[in-house]
Structure 1
C-alpha cells in the first residue's frame, strides 16, 4: 500500500509537471515600489500607472490629432480606462463627424448619442484604429476611406467658418527710379524720374468687406538747358463693398468691380453684382492669375496693365524673370506686359488671361446677376452705358455642362449660349456662340454679328503634358462686344497701344507645358490676333526649355514681342537666349558657397544684335538677403556694354530691392518696396504683402518665434501675420517651439483657422511665461521617491503645471514664477504628500547654468508647524 501511495504521488507530480510544461505560463514583470522607500519608511509611490510599457496615466491631454496622416488641429481630449483597463481617448460621434467621418451613413453610429464616448473604435468603424505618440502628444486616427464623407479631403464644416475680427489692412507697393543719359555727339544730357505707388486698402466689420485700390504714377523728364516735362496720375479704382451669403453659396458686391468671364468677356463696371462663390464648395476650382515670364537685358522696369489700368509694376534684374505673385483682379481682359530697359527701350507682350473651359458636376449651378454702368478705362471717355447682365451655368449628367446668358443695355443687346463636355482621357472641350446687336451714333443703323469660340484643356499625367488653355475665337465684321460698343468713337487715353481699339476678327491662344522627367521641361505660350479694317497681326510667343546636368542648369528661351521705335512704330522683335547657371560649391566643394551661383547668358535678336551677360548671384542661408552682380556686352555698340548690381531683402515686415546699372551712355538707379500694415483689436502689426484672407498670430511674450516654415517671425510683442490663407478651408497655423525665448513655453504649437473670404482671423496661442528649473526635492532628509507627482500651487495651466520626480529627487519644471509653492504627492494618504517653497529672486546670473535654473529645497508635511510658519511668512505668488 505504501509503495502504491508513493507511486500515486509521483504520478500526480509528473502530471502536474507535464501540464506546466505544455500550458504556457502567464505572468508579468513587477517592480516592488518599496525599493524606492526612504530608509525603510512607508513612503512608497503609487507606480501602477507606469507598470505597463506604453501605458499613460488617465487625464486630460492637449493632443495634435491626425486623420489618415492629415493634421486636423489640437484637441483637449479625456483619456480614461476601457473595460480591460487600457487607457484610450474619449472619441465621440460628434468629434468623428467634425473630423470628416460620414457618421450619418454608419448604422452603428446613428443610434449612439452624439456625445457618448466610444469604447471600441473598430466595433463602430471596421478596420479603424488609433495610435498615440505620448512624448509628441500626437494622436493618429486611421479611418477607411469608405467611412469618410465624399468630400472630406477638402471639406470644412460651415459652422467653423470664421468671419474674423474688425480690422483694417493696407498693402503697399512702391517703386521708383532715376535714369541719367548722356548720348554724346552734341546731344544734351537728360534725366528721367519715375515713381509708382499702389495702395490696396481694406476694412472688415463682421461679414462686410470694404476694398479700394489707389494708384499714383509720376514721370519727369529733363534735358540740359530745357525745362522738364512732368506728368502724374492719381486714381482710386476697384472700390467696393462685399459680403458673403452662405446659404446661397454666393457673394454680393456693391461698387467698382468686374463681371465674370465664363460666358461673356469680363466687363469693368460700377454697380451691384450677385454671383456664386465656388470657394465655399468642399472641392473647388479657384480663380487664377497667369504666371508671366520674360527676358530683361538690364535692370528693367516691368509694368502690367489691364483695361488701360496699371495693376503691377516692379524692377527685375537682367536675365529671365517670372512673375507669379500677380494680385487677382477679376481677370477683366487680357494683360499687357511692358518691359522698359535701363537704356529707355520698351518692349511689350500680350498675356492671354482667358479662363479654363467651364465644367461643373451634375446638378451643380453657378450664376451671376449684375446691374450697373460700364466703367472701362482705355479711352478718355466712353458711353458708360447702364446695363443688366445675367448668366447661368448648370452641370448635367454624362459630363455635360450647359451655360448661357444675356446682356441688355440701351441700344445694345447680346445673348450667348454654349456647351461644355468632359471627354475623359481626351480632355475637356467647350464651344459657344454670342450674338450681339448694337446701334452706334453713325446713322448706319443696327450692327448685328456673331462671335464663335472654342476652348480646350488637357492634362496627361502619364506623359507630363499639360494644355492649360487652347482657345480660338472668330467674330464677324459687324459683331461688337459690349466694350467695343462703349469705346467706339472715343479717343484712347495716353500711353495706350495703337491697336487697343481695333475690333478683333480672330484670336488664338495656347499655353502648353511638357515635363520630360530627367531630361527637363518645355513650355510654350502663344497668342495671335488679327483685326477688322486693317492688316495688322499681333503675335506673341514665349517658349523655353530647361534642364540640368551634373548640377549645372541650362535654359533656352525664345520670345516674340512688339518693340517701340523712335518713330513710334511697334514692329515685332524676335529674341532667343541661352542661359547657363552653376552653383559655386560645385567647383570648390565649400558649403558656404552653396547658395551662390555663376550665370552666363547669350541672346540674339532678329535685328542682328548679340548680347552676352556674365554674373554672380546668391543669398544667405535663410533666403532673406539676395544679391546679383552682372555685366552685359553688345556687338553693335561698344558703349552699350553695362554693369548691373541688385540687392534684395525679404523679411517678416515686407520686402525691398535696390538696383543700379552703369554704362558709358547712361546710369540707372531703382528701388522697390512692398509690404502691409494690419490694424486689429490687439494693435498694429507689420507684414509681408497679403492675399485675400490672413491670420494674425497672437503669442504674447514669444518674440522672435518662427511661424509656419520660418519665413515669418513674431515681433517684439509676439504678433505676426500669416499672409496667404485658403478661404473656407482649414488652415493649420503653427509655431516652431525650438525658436521660443528661454522663458516662454506653449501649451499648443498648432491652431486651425477657417477664414471666410477676405477675413482677418486671430490665431491665439496660449503662452506660459516663466522660468525653467531643475529642482532637487528632499523630504525628511531624503530625496523624494521616484515617480512622485509635483504640481505648482495654485495651478493656472492644468496638466501643464505638473512634473514627475526622477532620480535623486530631481524634477524639471517650466513656466515657473521667481518664487512660489510646489505640492508633491506619492500616494493617496494624507501623510504621502508635502509642500515645498522655491525662490529664485536672489539667484545671481553667474550662478545659473544656461537658461535652466537649479535649486535644492526641502519638502514639509502640509500639517507641519514649521511648514505652516514658513508659509505664512512668504508672500502669495501666482503664475502669470
Structure 2
C-alpha cells in the first residue's frame, strides 16, 4: 500500500496569546549585548541567572531557535539579568504563558519574561548573535491534524429530461411430459427530472405472451410512484408517493404511500455521521507523525513542537489498534499504541437524525397496484448524546394502532457495542403488547462476535405486521468468526426462532475458508437443524481465478439425501464493457444439468442469452436491459440510468471522445452532442474531452468542465469551441515592408486577438472561407480581406502577402 499523503498541520490558535498590530522585528537595535561564550544557562527556581552587563535596559537583535526550529531574528530585551520577548513573538512561536504573567513596557510595546514559560532554558551564542530557547513541549499551543472541510460544490442548473429504463426477459421451456411454455416479462421505470425534483414510476408486466399454460393471467402492475426533492443546503429530503419507512432497531421496514421528510447526510460529499477516534500526542521538537491503523500506514504528517491531536481518522467500523510513531529531526522515535473503537451504528456527539412520515401502509406490492390500508403518522429521532452513546425513539399513531419505541446503542469496554430497545403497542382489537431487544457485537481485526435476543408478547403489533400474522415469540441469533495467519477463517453461527403459531426451529452452522496456493480458495459450509426441522446441509466450493476476468469453481453438496456436484467457468466483460460468458455442467439434486450463457455489455445496454438442459426440461432465456433519455431536444440510447447524467456539447465536432476523468465513455454524434452517464450526485464530476480526437484547428479554452448534478438529474456541459480554420497570414504595409512585430490582428466581429510576429506573420484561428481582418498598430487601424484556399481540416495554409493600407510605421 502506498504511503498516505502528508496532511496539513494547523495550530490551535485558541490557546495563543493575542498578537498586537505592531511588529517587533524591524527596530533599530541597541548596541549588542556582550554575551559570554556559548554556554547553557538554566535559571534556578524558574529564574534566569543574570546575564553579563548589568545596568540599563538593553535590546538587541538575536537569531532565535525555539526547540530546534529556526524562528527568525527578534529583538530581545535584557533587564536586571532576565530576558524578555515581545508579545507577538510568543504568538509566532506558539508558546503559551500562564495566566497573570506581568508585562513590562518598553518604548510603547509589551514585553514578557521568557522565564515564565514552563521548562525554560537558554543557550547563548555570542559569536553568531544567536540564542537557543528550550521550553517544555506542554508549553506550546496544540496542533490539530484534521481533514480539510470539503467545500460544498455549487449545484449545476438542472436540464429538464425524461428517462426510461427497461428490463425485458423472455423464457421458453420444453417439458418432457407437459406442454411447452413461453413467458415474456418486463420491468419498466419512467422518470421526469426538473429543477423542482425527480418523479419516477415503476411497473412490472407478467405473462405478456398470454400463455395459458403458465396458470397466470396477463398483468401489468404499477409498483412505486415517487416524487423526490432534495435540499442539499440543509441535508434534508422530501418524498411524496410510495417510499419505505425504516423500522429502526426493533421494527421491520415497510412500504407506504404518503409523505416523508427528514435528514439525508448523503447530500453532503464526505460527510461522516459516526464518531471517529481522536488521538493525542506530544512532540519535543519538530517531528514527523505517522499513523498506523491495524498495522497499515494511513497518514503521515509534519508537526511542530508541542502537543498535537490526530482527528482525520480513516472511516471504518469496529475495533482495533492504532500506533502513533513520532520521529524528530534527529531520528529519535517514540511509538504509542492506542486501542480504538468506532461504529456506524453510533452518531457523532450532538448530531441529530430524524424523519417524519404520514400516509397509508402499502400491502401486496408487486401484485396489487394500489392496496393501501392502515393510515398513520410517524416520527423517528436519533441523537448522538456523546461519542459513546446514541439514543433512538419513534412514535407511530394509526387509525387503530399506536406504538412507542425507545432504544440506545452504546460503546462498551472491550471494544464492544451494546444495543437495547423496547417498544410498546396499543391496538384497538388486541389490546396492549410489547417487545424488547438486547444485542452485543464486537468487530475486530481478526475476530467478530454478534449476539442478539428479541422477544415479543402475543398481542404486540406494529405497522409492518399484517393483522393476520402473529409476532415472533422469541428470536435468538449469534455468530462468531476468527481469521488465522495460516489456516484461513473459521465461523460459527446459531439461530433459534420460536413463533406463537409454529414450533421452535433451531439451527447451527459452521464455515471455513482457506486459501489454496497463490489464488484459489476452498470454502466449507455445514448446517444442522437441532430442533423443529430435519434439514441438514454440507457443502464444499473450490474457487480458482484463472487470470483476467475468468474464474472457475467446483461445487459439491449434500442436503436431505440429494447430491450436487457441478463445475462452472465464467468470464465477465472486461473493463465494464464487452462480451462475457458462463458454462455449467454436472449434477444438481441427483439429476444431470448443463447450462451455457453469453452476455454483451455495451454503450446502449446489455443483452444476454442462456440455454439450460436438465432431466425433464430444456429452457432458453433471453434478456435485454437498457435505457432511453430525452433531453435538450435529443434522444439517446444508453445503459440503465440509476445515477445522474450530463448532456455534453462540443458544437460542430462529431466522433470526439468524451467521458469522466481520463476514461472515455462515448463519442459525440454528428452535431457534437453526447450523453455522459454515471455522474455522482452533489459532487464534482470532471467531464473531459479527448484532445487527441479533436482536429488541429479546433480551439477550446479547456478540455475539462466540472458538473455537479442533483440526484438522478441531467445537467448541460458545454465546451466552447471557436469554429473555423487556422492559417498563417503574412501582412505587409503600403511601403511594401512586412507589418511590425507586436501589431494586433483580429477577425472582424470576433474579440479574439492575435499578435504579429517576425516577418509580418500572424497565426489566426477561427477563419471562414472569406473574412475581414482588422490590424491595429500605434492607435491606427487598417482592414483587409482574407480568402482561404481549399485545404484539409488538419492542414494549416499560408496566405499572403496581404496588403493593409493606411497605417504608418
The answer to whether TM tops 0.5 is yes
Deviations 1:112-163 (A, max 9, x none): xxxxxxxxxxxxxx9xxxxxxxxxxxxxxxxxxx999977543305xx2346
Give 1:707 deviation, angstroms: 0.6
Judge conservation of contact 1:776–1:856 (CA < 8 Å) in 2.
Answer: yes
Distance across 2 between alignment mates of 1:864 and 1:515: 90
SS across alignment from 1:738: helix
* Alignment pair present for 1:577 and 2:541: yes
Counterpart for residue 678 of structure 2 = 724
Deviations 1:468-517 (A, max 9, x none): x95624122326342465x1327xxxxxxxxxx7636215376979798x
SS across alignment from 1:727: coil
Deviations 1:626-646 (A, max 9, x none): 132525123986x714241x3
Give 1:683 deviation, angstroms: 2.5
Give the alignment partner of residue 655 of structure 1, picking from 593, 596, 606: 606
Judge conservation of contact 1:613–1:633 (CA < 8 Å) in 2.
Answer: yes
Give the alignment partner of residue 665 of structure 2, picking from 679, 704, 712: 712
Give the alignment partner of residue 152 of structure 2, picking from 156, 160, 165: 156
Distance across 1 between alignment mates of 2:464 and 2:798: 86
Give the alignment partner of residue 489 of structure 1, picking from 468, 471, 477: 468
Judge conservation of contact 2:741–2:760 (CA < 8 Å) in 1.
Answer: no
Counterpart for residue 641 of structure 2 = 690
1:750-765, aligned counterparts within 5 Å? 750-765=704-719
Give the alignment partner of residue 630 of structure 1, picking from 578, 583, 592: 583
Judge conservation of contact 2:163–2:630 (CA < 8 Å) in 1.
Answer: yes
Counterpart for residue 435 of structure 2 = 450
Give the alignment partner of residue 159 of structure 2, picking from 147, 157, 165: 165
Distance across 1 between alignment mates of 2:739 and 2:510: 75
* Alignment pair present for 1:505 and 2:479: no
Counterpart for residue 368 of structure 1 = 355
1:259-274, aligned counterparts within 5 Å? 259-262=245-248, 264-274=251-261
Give the alignment partner of residue 240 of structure 1, picking from 219, 226, 233: 226
Counterpart for residue 556 of structure 1 = 523
Distance across 1 between alignment mates of 2:748 and 2:13: 41
* Alignment pair present for 1:532 and 2:499: yes
Check 1:560–1:748 CA distance in 2 against 1; reply closer, same or farther (3 A cut): farther
Give the alignment partner of residue 837 of structure 1, picking from 763, 766, 786: 786
SS across alignment from 1:284: coil
Check 1:630–1:204 CA distance in 2 against 1; reply closer, same or farther (3 A cut): closer
Judge conservation of contact 1:775–1:811 (CA < 8 Å) in 2.
Answer: yes
1:213-362, aligned counterparts within 5 Å? 213-218=202-207, 229-245=215-231, 248-262=234-248, 264-281=251-268, 283-284=270-271, 358-362=345-349
SS across alignment from 1:613: strand
Give 1:830 deviation, angstroms: 7.1
* Alignment pair present for 1:433 and 2:431: no
SS across alignment from 1:723: strand
SS across alignment from 2:663: coil
Unpaired runs of 5+ in structure 1? Answer: 1-67, 71-99, 112-125, 127-145, 183-187, 288-355, 491-500, 563-568, 584-594, 868-880
Judge conservation of contact 1:655–1:674 (CA < 8 Å) in 2.
Answer: yes
RMSD value over aligned CA atoms?
5.1
1:663-678, aligned counterparts within 5 Å? 665-678=616-629
Check 1:655–1:453 CA distance in 2 against 1; reply closer, same or farther (3 A cut): farther
Distance across 2 between alignment mates of 1:540 and 1:820: 85
Check 1:797–1:688 CA distance in 2 against 1; reply closer, same or farther (3 A cut): farther
Larger radius of gyration: 2
Give 1:797 deviation, angstroms: 7.2
SS across alignment from 1:251: strand
Give 1:258 deviation, angstroms: 1.6
Distance across 1 between alignment mates of 2:766 and 2:508: 63
Judge conservation of contact 2:190–2:200 (CA < 8 Å) in 1.
Answer: yes
Judge conservation of contact 2:729–2:802 (CA < 8 Å) in 1.
Answer: no
Judge conservation of contact 1:370–1:389 (CA < 8 Å) in 2.
Answer: yes
Judge conservation of contact 1:651–1:711 (CA < 8 Å) in 2.
Answer: no
Unpaired runs of 5+ in structure 2? Answer: 22-91, 93-141, 275-342
* Alignment pair present for 1:474 and 2:459: no
Judge conservation of contact 1:279–1:285 (CA < 8 Å) in 2.
Answer: no
Check 1:470–1:616 CA distance in 2 against 1; reply closer, same or farther (3 A cut): closer
Judge conservation of contact 2:658–2:668 (CA < 8 Å) in 1.
Answer: no
**Count of matched residue pairs:** 602
Give 1:389 deviation, angstroms: 1.0
Judge conservation of contact 1:363–1:394 (CA < 8 Å) in 2.
Answer: yes
Judge conservation of contact 2:783–2:804 (CA < 8 Å) in 1.
Answer: yes
Give 1:392 deviation, angstroms: 1.4
- Give the structure with the higher percent helix: 1
Deviations 1:190-238 (A, max 9, x none): 423333322222223322332221122228898xxx9563444422122
Judge conservation of contact 1:174–1:195 (CA < 8 Å) in 2.
Answer: yes
Distance across 2 between alignment mates of 1:802 and 1:270: 64
Counterpart for residue 180 of structure 1 = 174
Check 1:732–1:489 CA distance in 2 against 1; reply closer, same or farther (3 A cut): same
